[in-house]
């Protein structure tokens, strides 16, 4: 791609600083707060984005639990996203969000976009990763953020 603004890839958005493992959360609200705090600490979002993710869950229900055991937490770009970003939590024990098909959640990914375009390649890679059961099992079993990053980089789904 000749453009100076190449599309974001998964490794551009998910970093060791935005990954926390073995998080104990009591409910979906706490999961959103924990995942959002990682994005806030990285400077990628404003505090109000965390509230917007909470509101989206309250308003629309547990549709964010997109595949068995995985929630993709997000809100609208205008709700306080400064730059495309992503955080990942593994949850122990898993948390019930109220999605009868895909609960309980053991991996939560918070995602922030600034528009409808720049993040699409990263989101496509994430979607392929979520279909890779071996990669998800490895992420759940990871003991360090670096291990998660290696799993993502090594997965054929993210190539």
Catalytic residues: 74
Structure tokens, 74 = 């997000």
- CB neighbours of 119 closer than 8 A, spacing ≥ 6? 8, 13, 84, 111, 113
Are the beta carbons of 81 and 112 closer than 8 angstroms? yes
Calpha distance 132→75 (Å, rounded): 25
CA 104 to chain CA mean position, Å: 16
CA 38 to chain CA mean position, Å: 11
**3 state DSSP class of 1:** coil
Q: What is the rounded radius of gyration, in angstroms, for the C-alpha atoms of the chain?
A: 15
């Amino acid at each position: 791609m000749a453009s100076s603004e190449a599309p974001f890839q998964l490794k551009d958005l998910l970093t060791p600083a935005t990954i926390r493992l073995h998080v104990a959360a009591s409910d979906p609200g706490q999961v959103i707060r924990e995942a959002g705090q990682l994005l806030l600490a990285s400077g990628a979002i404003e505090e109000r984005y965390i509230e917007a993710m909470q509101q989206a869950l309250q308003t629309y229900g547990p549709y964010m639990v997109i595949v068995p055991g995985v929630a993709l937490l997000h809100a609208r770009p205008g709700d306080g996203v400064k730059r495309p970003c992503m955080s990942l939590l593994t949850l122990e024990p898993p948390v019930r969000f109220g999605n009868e098909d895909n609960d309980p959640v053991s991996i939560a990914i918070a995602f922030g976009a600034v528009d409808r375009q720049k993040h699409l390649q990263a989101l496509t890679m994430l979607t392929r990763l979520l279909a890779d059961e071996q990669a998800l099992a490895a992420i759940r079993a990871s003991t360090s953020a670096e291990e998660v990053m290696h799993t993502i980089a090594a997965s054929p789904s993210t190539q």
